[in-house]
Amino acid sequence: MEAGVAGLAAIGAANSLGAIVRAFDSRPEVKEQVKSMGADFLEIDFEEEGGSGDGYAKVMSEEFNRRAMALYAEQAKEVDIIITTAAIPGKPAPRLITKEMVDSMKPGSVIVDLAAATGGNCEYTKAGEIVVTDNQVKVIGYTDFPARLPTQSSQLYGTNLVNLLKLLAPNKDGQIEINFDDVVLRGVTVVRDGELTWPAPPIQVSAQLQKQAAAPQAVKKEEKTCRPSSEIWRDGSSRCAVPMACICGSGSVFIAFYRIRSRLCGRVLCGLERQPRTTYPINGGNKCDFRDYHRRCGITNCPTDR
């Protein structure tokens, strides 16, 4: 649920393991990203813009939430694992999975609530704990995943620092250059030349859907009329030109074919007459293997004489 950075990473990991992945997000522009990761995008029959332009989802209307909850309840009965990542900056995490939905899940199912630190998306979630329901559904509410994955966390953190240093020193000479045209450097700068530059102005990170413009009307082209065949054959020159072209063309083809046929037949007959008992073995590399070849060429001590 909610295909942001963490959601897309979860989709990629589950898809690489061979799982059938379904994803939902209130932002319609995420649909293409979800499909590119190999997952099915779940939609509801209700149009409402869920993107806020800064990469996070905004608070949706009651009608949208009601239809979304109906979709969650339907999917909870079918899936084995639910990963929730819905979060709203500065506000508690929205409750998306009710206790009734969890109770309807198959025994052994798992819910991973990545929003447990801000209250959780599931009603069973307890921060820092694993809750096992009466129908044997596990609800994981860990809030220290980076500490539980030290190797991966260190690699990701180190990669981010290296990329940040590349932006700070583009010439690789150790001299720091603050370029405010770069959104990353603008966002991490707090004070510049004694002036407070934080917070940075909001940036547009979500692609907003644009309404398709009306298709321009096609310009009607003038239709070219063709002369009927009856009118063409009424012309005497046309009546004569077509048969004569056919006759001349067929005559030249016949003459060329007759010459080639005569040469081929003559060469084949001459070859049969000159070598009446010639046979050809599979391996023709040794001329002595041809019957009577050594006698005609005056070759002695050939194995075929024995």
pLDDT (0 to 100) of residue 250? 45
Let me know whether 192 and 168 are in one domain. Answer: yes
Let me know whether 87 and 34 are in one domain. Answer: yes
pLDDT(301) > 80: no
Domain count within the chain: 2
pLDDT(226) > 90: no
Torsion angles phi and psi, residue 31, rounded to 5: -55, -45
- The pLDDT of 214-235, averaged and rounded, is 53
Three-state secondary structure call for residue 207: coil
Structural contact between residues 169 and 176, judged by C-beta atoms closer than 8 angstroms: yes
User: Confidence class of residue 221 from pLDDT cuts 50, 70 and 90?
Assistant: low
Asked whether residue 273 is assigned to any structural domain, the reply reads no
Domain end marker among 196, 226, 260: 196
Determine the Cα–Cα distance for residues 81 and 257; give it in Å rounded to an integer: 76
Let me know whether 137 and 78 are in one domain. Answer: yes
Asked whether residue 272 is assigned to any structural domain, the reply reads no
Q: Which domain holds residue 107?
A: 5-47+57-145
pLDDT(121) > 60: yes
Percent of the chain with pLDDT over 70: 63
Q: What tokens appear for 155 in the block?
A: 């690699």
Average pLDDT, the chain: 77
Under DSSP, the state recorded for 266 is H
Q: Which is nearest to 54 in space by CA: 271, 251, 232, 205?
A: 205
Give the CATH number for residue 92. Answer: 3.40.50.720
Let me know whether 128 and 175 are in one domain. Answer: no
Render pLDDT for 6-55 as a digit per residue (tens, 0 to 9). Answer: 889 999 999 999 999 999 988 888 899 999 999 999 998 877 765 555 55
pLDDT (0 to 100) of residue 53? 54
| Burial zone of 258 (CB within 10 Å; 0-12 exposed, 13-18 middle, 19+ buried) | exposed
pLDDT (0 to 100) of residue 302? 54
pLDDT (0 to 100) of residue 58? 64
- The pLDDT of 233-240, averaged and rounded, is 48
pLDDT (0 to 100) of residue 49? 65
pLDDT (0 to 100) of residue 222? 55
- The pLDDT of 229-256, averaged and rounded, is 47
Q: Which is nearest to 51 in space by CA: 28, 23, 85, 24?
A: 28
**Poorest-pLDDT segment among 159-163, 192-196, 261-265:** 261-265
- The pLDDT of 133-143, averaged and rounded, is 97
pLDDT (0 to 100) of residue 268? 41
Torsion angles phi and psi, residue 23, rounded to 5: -135, 150
Let me know whether 65 and 191 are in one domain. Answer: no
Under DSSP, the state recorded for 281 is -
pLDDT (0 to 100) of residue 229? 52
- The pLDDT of 121-133, averaged and rounded, is 96
Render pLDDT for 251-296 as a digit per residue (tens, 0 to 9). Answer: 444 444 445 444 444 444 444 444 444 444 444 445 444 555 555 5
Let me know whether 23 and 141 are in one domain. Answer: yes
Let me know whether 75 and 171 are in one domain. Answer: no
Asked whether residue 173 is assigned to any structural domain, the reply reads yes
Let me know whether 70 and 141 are in one domain. Answer: yes
Element (H, E) at 27: none
pLDDT(76) > 70: yes
